[in-house]
Amino acid sequence: MSSTDAGAAATAAPEHDLEVAAKAVVLAEALPYIREFAGKTVVIKYGGHAMENAELARSFANDVVLMRLVGMNPVVVHGGGPHISDLMRRLGKEPEFVDGLRVTDADTIDIVRMALVGKVNREVVAAINRVGPYAVGLSGEDAGMIHVTQRDPRLGFVGDVARIDPTIIHGLVREELIPVVATIGVDDDGQAYNVNADTVAGALAEAVRAEKLVYLTDVAGLYADYPDPQSLISDIDTAGLEELALAGALSEGMIPKVRSCIEALRGGVGRAHILDGRRPHALLLEFFTREGIGTMITANKS
């Protein structure tokens, strides 16, 4: 070996050692969080850019499987509004909305089921199972999991959550599997309804007494004055969250998430988080690092 080669090798070795040491520090930092959440159930609302971007989708699948492998019980809930609209147009039916909610007639609810259960759910399940064979696809129709009532006759088959039967979720979690839930609900007559995925995630988290409820979104978290980055809120309690809502500081898309967080925390969920799903490995950063990311919401501090 020439003196030049020897010098290069000597330089490379310390750099390699530093990289290895940095990885060891990260793993050591993660250990107490792994212990804290082992055996705990976490409900994750998956959607937005994290679902649409192929690289982020792979990152999400890796994160969820890692959570399962270190002893956590992740439960994934997803919607798929853009997929529904796309399929409707391909089938010659133009989407119609009233007050921001999709009008869902008899033909549309069939399309919703095809899009959410037949396409989106299968894709999420397949992505997770490429990493580890744990994901099982479900809809709220399965085992009568999501019971609903009709929201408004003008909207057709759009439902509000009346109750959640978590029996099938508990069974899958006991088998160390990852439930992936498409948000179709049923009324007492067995009629299918389209249901807001944010609302379902909160209600399901409450029903299974989850340790955490997590929303992956297309923003960095909650803002006191959106979109001013200096107004990003790192933590807030439900009382502060209600004040924020009353002040009109929340975007229309954030309102269902916030309402669901408040109800879930009042119903016994430990903590709720609104995270930036555009960041690779957002779940791991939140669960297994000291700093965390996004906005954490807790029950009233008083």
What are the tens digits of pLDDT across the range 199-214?
A: 999 999 999 999 999 9
Single pTM value for the model: 0.89
> Does position 18 have pLDDT exceeding 60, yes or no?
no
Q: Tell me if residue 48 is catalytic.
A: yes
**Contacts of residue 109, Cβ cutoff 8 Å, sequence gap at least 6:** 156, 157, 192, 193, 194
Q: With cut-offs at 50, 70 and 90, classify the pLDDT of residue 1.
A: low
Average pLDDT, the chain: 89
**Rounded Cα gap, residues 33 and 3, in angstroms:** 47
**Would you say residue 87 has pLDDT above 60?**
yes
Query: Residue 13: what pLDDT?
Result: 56
The domain spans of the chain are 40-298
198 catalytic? Reply is yes
> Domain 40-298: which topology?
Carbamate kinase (3.40.1160)
* Active-site hit among 185, 198, 276, 277: 198
Q: Give the H/E segment covering residue 44.
A: strand 41-46
């389209």: which residue's tokens? 194
Q: How does pLDDT run across 133-183, given as a tens digit for each residue?
A: 999 999 999 999 999 999 999 999 999 999 999 999 999 999 999 999 999
Q: Is 119 annotated in the active site? A: no
Q: SS3 of 238, please?
A: helix
- The backbone torsions φ and ψ at residue 251, rounded to the nearest 5 degrees and listed phi first, read -75, 160
SS (H, E, C) 51-71: HHCHHHHHHHHHHHHHHHHCC
Q: Indicate the range of 78-92, 131-145, 286-300 predicted with least confidence.
A: 286-300
Catalytic hit among 80, 257, 276, 294: 257
Q: Which tops the pLDDT comparison, 230 or 66?
A: 66
- Name every residue whose Cβ is closer than 8 Å to that of residue 265 and which is 6 or more positions away in sequence: 238, 271, 272, 297, 298, 299
Active-site residue, 45 included: yes
Name which of 55, 44, 30, 45 is nearest 278 in CA terms: 55
Which tens digits make up the pLDDT trace of 103-133? 999 999 999 999 999 999 999 999 999 999 9
Catalytic residue among 81, 144, 267, 292: 81
Q: What are the residues whose beta carbons fall under 8 Å from the beta carbon of 172, sequence distance 6 or more?
A: 136, 178, 179
* pLDDT at position 252: 73
Q: What is the pLDDT of residue 229?
A: 82
Mean pLDDT within 185-208: 96
Whether 118 sits among the annotated catalytic residues: the reply is no
